[in-house]
Structure 1
Amino acid sequence: MAIRTLAALYDDYGDAAQAIAAIEAAGIAHSDVSIIANNADNRYRLGSTNSAVTDANTTVVDEESDASGLGTGATIGTIVGGGAGLLAGLGMLAIPGVGPVIAAGWLVATLAGAGVGAAVGGLVGSLTDAGVDNEHAVVYAEGVRRGGTLVTVRVDDLREAEIRKILDHYEPVDIETRGAEYRSSGWSPDTTATTTEPYRRAAE
Structure 2
Amino acid sequence: MKTISRSYDSYAQAQAAVGAIEKAGIPSSNVSIIANKHVSPGHEPVSDTAAGAGIGGVVGGGVGLLAGLGLLAIPGIGPVVAAGWLAAMAVGTAAGLATGGLMGALIGAGVDEEEAAVLSETVRRGGTLVSVRVPEDEVGRVEGLLSIHRPMDVAARAATWRDEGWKTFDPDAPAYRPGETEVERMRREWRDDGIGKQV
Question: What residue identity is the alignment partner of 1:183?
Answer: R
Give 1:103's aligned residue. Answer: 82
Percent of residue pairs bearing the same amino acid type: 46
Structure 1, unpaired ranges of 5+: 54-58, 62-80
Question: What residue identity is the alignment partner of 1:170?
Answer: H
Give 2:34's aligned residue. Answer: 36
Correspondence 1:46 to 2:51: yes
Question: What residue identity is the alignment partner of 1:11?
Answer: D
Distance 1:142 1:112 in 2: 16
1:18 to 1:190, Cα distance in 2 relative to 1, 3 A:
closer
Distance 1:141 1:13 in 2: 15
Correspondence 1:182 to 2:196: no
Give 2:108's aligned residue. Answer: 129
Root-mean-square deviation over aligned CA pairs: 2.4
Q: After superposition, what is the alpha-carbon deviation per residue over 1:45-73, rounded to whole angstroms, capped at 9, x for unaligned?
A: 324454337xxxxx357xxxxxxxxxxxx
Distance 2:166 2:159 in 1: 9
**How far does residue 180 in structure 1 lie from its aligned partner after superposition?**
0.7
Give 2:24's aligned residue. Answer: 26
Distance 2:90 2:129 in 1: 14
Instruction: Name the stretch that deviates more: 3-12 or 182-191.
Output: 182-191
Instruction: Name the stretch that deviates more: 97-106 or 108-117.
Output: 108-117
Distance 1:17 1:43 in 2: 16
Across the two proteins, how many residue pairs are aligned to each other?
A: 171
Q: Which structure has the highest helix share of the two? A: 2
Distance 1:14 1:92 in 2: 17
**How far does residue 114 in structure 1 lie from its aligned partner after superposition?**
1.3
**How far does residue 202 in structure 1 lie from its aligned partner after superposition?**
3.1
1:102 to 1:120, Cα distance in 2 relative to 1, 3 A:
farther
**TM-score normalized with structure 1 length:** 0.75
User: Is contact 2:73–2:91 with CA below 8 Å preserved after alignment?
Assistant: no
User: Is contact 2:33–2:130 with CA below 8 Å preserved after alignment?
Assistant: yes
User: Is contact 1:95–1:119 with CA below 8 Å preserved after alignment?
Assistant: no
Structure 2, unpaired ranges of 5+: 179-199
Distance 2:98 2:81 in 1: 16
SS at match of 2:51: coil
| Aligned with residue 11 of structure 2, among 5, 13, 38 | 13
**How do 1:109-148 and structure 2 match up within 5 A?**
109-114=88-93, 116=95, 118=97, 121-148=100-127
Distance 2:99 2:38 in 1: 15
Distance 2:53 2:167 in 1: 38
